[in-house]
């Protein structure tokens, strides 16, 4: 047998093994979530908002929204935040639509979290007062997850009655305590069993300080079910290439005591890369199960 043939056979075997373990962990996570969230009140008419990260665009959440629509969801509304802050609503959001999907798009792709929080708050106000949305689920990738957390935390304290109530929150690769090549270094930071990081990263141009998140998260609404998905595509850096595992897992310390359920799911290898986390079958399956299954 030639060397090339042996190599091809080995590659086929490796591919089969990888596929097997991906299916195994998907089924395992599916059962875990089914048991974990059994009995949690959930209405099929609650809209799910998808928020992309820094430098992202419509394409960043298109795949997630498409997969969700195949799982019974319905694309109903696209919210476009213009570069000047003007907000445009395309589509409709009718109360009788099952599993409505709402994409929130920031045309100014590089915007500090503080500004995105202001815009996202306006979106939530409109959803409640114009579209009569009283509850919602949210899926945020990267900076989008931090924006969701900060918006809900900051405005729940005194103005929680003016915005819809968050029911389920999916965080994908959220940089809660630093981002590589900006203000974080691979393997520099660690979290304890509570999710508390050893180092609290300071604020920078794009992100608030971790200490600010700690302060604001004291007002995160109680009773939210949370799923934190993070990647580790490189064991040497313990990161998804952009966000360290420690930074993503730092969400737990912020809100764990206030949540109804809190679950962390790591994704390793190629599919654990930062941009792949919102564009692979394994993550799609987990999110659809968490958001859309009616228990």
Instruction: Give the model's pLDDT for residue 16.
Output: 54
Give the mean pLDDT of the chain. Answer: 85
3-state secondary structure 170-193: EEECCCCCCCECCCECCCCCCECC
Residue 145: Cβ within 10 Å count: 27
pLDDT of 152 above 80: yes
189 CB-near residues (< 8 Å, 6+ apart): 177, 178, 197, 198, 199, 201, 244, 246, 247
Instruction: Give the model's pLDDT for residue 273.
Output: 95
Which residue stretches of the chain are H helix?
3-36, 58-70, 113-129, 143-159, 210-216, 245-249, 251-255, 281-292
pLDDT of 13 above 80: no
**Which helix (DSSP H) or strand (DSSP E) does residue 93 occupy?**
none
Question: Which segment of 130-139, 219-228, 282-291 scores lowest on mean pLDDT?
Answer: 282-291
Q: Give whichever of 61-65, 225-229, 272-276 has the largest mean pLDDT.
A: 225-229
Instruction: Give the model's pLDDT for residue 17.
Output: 56
42-100-165-162 Cα dihedral, nearest 10 degrees: -150
Q: What is the pTM of this model?
A: 0.84
In this predicted model, what pLDDT tens digit does every residue of 161-206 receive, in sequence order?
Answer: 899 999 999 999 999 999 999 999 999 999 999 999 999 999 999 9
- Average pLDDT (257-281) is 93
| Domain range annotation of the chain | 37-292
pLDDT of 18 above 90: no
Q: Please, what is the end-to-end C-alpha distance for the chain in angstroms?
A: 54
Residue 31: Cβ within 10 Å count: 11
pLDDT of 59 above 80: no
Instruction: Give the model's pLDDT for residue 22.
Output: 47
pLDDT-based confidence at residue 23 (cuts at 50, 70, 90): very low
Instruction: Give the model's pLDDT for residue 174.
Output: 97
Angle at 13 between CA 11 and CA 14, to 5 degrees: 65
- Average pLDDT (283-292) is 87
Question: What are the φ/ψ torsions at residue 101 (nearest 5 degrees)?
Answer: -115, 130
Question: Which segment of 31-45, 122-136, 218-232, 242-256 scores lowest on mean pLDDT?
Answer: 31-45
Instruction: Give the model's pLDDT for residue 118.
Output: 96
253-271-23-40 Cα dihedral, nearest 10 degrees: 30
d(CA 134, CA 45) in angstroms, rounded, equals: 10
pLDDT-based confidence at residue 30 (cuts at 50, 70, 90): very low
CATH number of 37-292: 3.40.50.1820
d(CA 177, CA 166) in angstroms, rounded, equals: 23
Beta bridge partners of 229: 172, 265
* Gyration radius of the chain's alpha carbons: 19
Closest CA to 165 of 260, 87, 89, 77: 260
Instruction: Give the model's pLDDT for residue 31.
Output: 44
In this predicted model, what pLDDT tens digit does every residue of 61-87 receive, in sequence order?
Answer: 777 777 777 777 888 899 999 999 999
């Amino acid at each position: 047998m030639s060397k090339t043939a042996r190599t091809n056979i080995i590659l086929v075997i490796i591919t089969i093994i990888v596929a097997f373990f991906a299916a195994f962990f998907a089924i395992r996570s599916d059962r875990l979530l089914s048991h974990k969230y059994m009995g949690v009140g959930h209405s099929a008419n609650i809209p799910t908002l998808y928020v992309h990260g820094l430098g992202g665009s419509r394409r960043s959440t298109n795949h997630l929204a498409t997969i969700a629509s195949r799982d019974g969801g319905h694309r109903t509304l696209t919210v476009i935040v213009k570069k000047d802050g003007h907000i445009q609503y395309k589509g409709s959001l009718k109360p009788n639509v099952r599993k409505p999907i709402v994409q929130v798009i920031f045309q100014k792709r590089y915007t500090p979290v503080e500004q995105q929080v202001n815009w996202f708050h306006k979106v939530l106000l409109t959803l409640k007062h114009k579209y009569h949305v009283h509850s919602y689920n949210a899926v945020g990738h990267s900076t989008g997850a931090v924006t969701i957390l900060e918006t809900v935390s900051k405005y729940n304290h005194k103005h929680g009655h003016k915005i819809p109530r968050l029911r389920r929150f999916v965080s994908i690769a959220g940089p809660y305590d630093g981002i590589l090549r900006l203000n974080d270094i691979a393997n520099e930071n660690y979290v304890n069993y509570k999710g508390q990081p050893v180092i609290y990263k300071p604020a920078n141009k794009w992100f608030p300080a971790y200490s600010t998140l700690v302060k604001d998260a004291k007002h995160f609404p109680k009773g939210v079910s949370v799923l934190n998905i993070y990647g580790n595509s490189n064991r040497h850096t313990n990161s998804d290439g952009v966000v360290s595992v420690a930074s993503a897992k730092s969400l737990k310390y912020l809100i764990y005591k206030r949540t109804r359920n809190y679950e962390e799911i790591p994704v390793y290898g190629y599919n654990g890369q930062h941009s792949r986390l919102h564009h692979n079958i394994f993550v799609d399956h987990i999110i659809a199960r968490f958001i859309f299954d009616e228990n």
